[in-house]
Amino acid sequence: MPSGAASPAELTARFAAEAAAVSDRLGYEGLRLAWTGRKKGILRAMLAGMKDVAPQDRREYGQAVNELKRAVETGLEALAQRLAEEEKAAARRAATLDVTLPGRRPALGSLHPVTVVNRDIEAIFAEMGYSVAEGPEVEDDYHNFEALNFPHDHPARDTQDTFFLNSGALLRTHTSPVQIRTMLARTELPIRIICPGKVYRNDNDLRHSPMFHQIEGLAVAEGITVGDLKGTLEAFIHRLFSADTGVRLRPSFFPFTEPSAEVDITCPFCGGSGASLQGGGACGVCSATGWMEILGCGMVDPRVLAECGIDPDIYTGFAFGLGVDRVAMIRYGIPNIRMLFENDERLLRQVQP
């Protein structure tokens, strides 16, 4: 046996220890090369060492090296098997479901405040027998103004308010033209509709956006009175806000209704007192008046009915127009109308339908 080199018995023990320390395929390959490699493997070196062994010891040495070789081969086989089993076990562990882990919440979308308010209002009027009508956002002068009894020199026709298109068409400044379209296209009376939609005006500040949302309402039948208008709007407001919300009609003017009124509700923030709920002072939301304006309304002007081919001596009607964004701002305490259209997800996430 070569002097100074480890004996086959010592090497068997060393191999066993090294094999036990291997934990992955890379380690296995390293071990296999180190021991059975054709050029630099330990077994190879042991065989090459035979020439240094005294002739009378060679037989014994050869046997010992053969035993070592067998031990290395079976050891490598056992190691490969152990690694394969460990890999399988690890894969099983990775695939099992740990039911004690806290769940990951999927990110849910939410509805835009204007959509929520629109749907609520549609649901309330649907219960009262109204259906939903729609009309184009690109309108013409006839439906947006003329048929609604706007005199030719009325300031609302001014470019101040109206976006005109090069073709002579315009972006509707209110949802009232849908009244006209519905009456002209009617197949039967009575009519009971609401018309939600986008409207456009050349106006842009904290309280005005060039695009905003209205809901128009129209009821036409025989014998409709101001009492019907008031009762309908009161019932609607009590459903939309709360049963104790105060409602008042203030005389006003619109070209397409006579008489006309604006409708105020008691401020939902101060309960109509005008006083700030947070430690005295004035309510900043309604400017201490206790009231907030939310819609315009009136009895459909006989000239509008006649223009649409409905006999005003037989039929009467009422109409109203509501600012949806304003209702959303009141309901969700949104101070600036532009916040509704900036697409900031944080605003959307605060809105629960």
Which of 8, 177, 290, 321 is in the footprint of ligand DAH by CB under 6 A?
A: 321
Single out the segment in contact with ligand DAH by CB under 6 A; choices: 31-39, 70-78, 237-245, 296-304.
Answer: 296-304
Query: Which tokens hold the place of 202?
Result: 């050349």
Residues 46 and 50: their CA atoms lie apart, in Å, by 7
Name the phi and psi angles at 211, rounded to 5: -120, 130
Query: Which tokens hold the place of 233?
Result: 């709007």
Q: How far is the CB of 339 from ligand DAH (least distance, A)?
A: 22
Cβ nearer to ligand DAH, comparing 35 with 320: 320
Closest Cα partner for 176 from 158, 160, 156? 156
Single out the segment in contact with ligand DAH by CB under 6 A; choices: 9-17, 282-290, 291-299, 342-350.
Answer: 291-299
Which of 15, 121, 216, 232 is in the footprint of ligand DAH by CB under 6 A?
A: 216
Contact letters for ligand DAH, residues 171-190 (x by CB under 6 A): ---x-x--------------
Q: How far is the CB of 154 from ligand DAH (least distance, A)?
A: 12
Contact letters for ligand DAH, residues 233-272 (x by CB under 6 A): ---------------------x--x---------------
Q: How far is the CB of 289 from ligand DAH (least distance, A)?
A: 20
Three-state SS for 279?
A: coil
Residues 118 and 123: their CA atoms lie apart, in Å, by 9
* DSSP percent split of the chain into helix, strand, coil, nearest 5: 45, 20, 35
Three-state SS for 23?
A: coil
How many other CB atoms sit within 10 Å of the CB of residue 44? 14
Query: Which tokens hold the place of 76?
Result: 């490598």
Q: How far is the CB of 216 from ligand DAH (least distance, A)?
A: 5
User: What is the binding site for ligand DAH (CB under 6 A)?
Assistant: 174, 176, 216, 254, 257, 296-298, 319-321
